[in-house]
Amino acid sequence: MIRCFVAVELDDPLRRALADVQHRMRGRIEKALGPDSRVQWVRPESVHVTLKFLGDVEESRISDLEAALRRVAAAHFVGVVEVAGLGVFPDTRNPRVLWVGLREGSALIVRLAEAVDQAMSEAGFPPESRPFSPHLTLARIKQGGRAVGRALESQGLLTESPVLGRLPVGALALMQSDLRPSGAAYTRLAEFVLKAED
Q: How far is CA 20 from CA 27, 44, 66, in A?
A: 11, 10, 35
Could you confirm whether 23 is annotated as catalytic?
A: no
Residue among 145, 123, 138, 144 nearest 22 (CA): 138
Q: Tell me if 163 sits within 8 A of 43, measured CB to CB.
A: no
Query: Looking at 8, 42, 48, 106, which residue is catalytic?
Result: 48
Residue 72: Cβ-neighbour burial (10 angstroms; 0-12, 13-18, 19+): buried
Could you confirm whether 135 is annotated as catalytic?
A: yes
Query: Looking at 39, 135, 151, 170, which residue is catalytic?
Result: 135
Residues designated catalytic: 48, 135
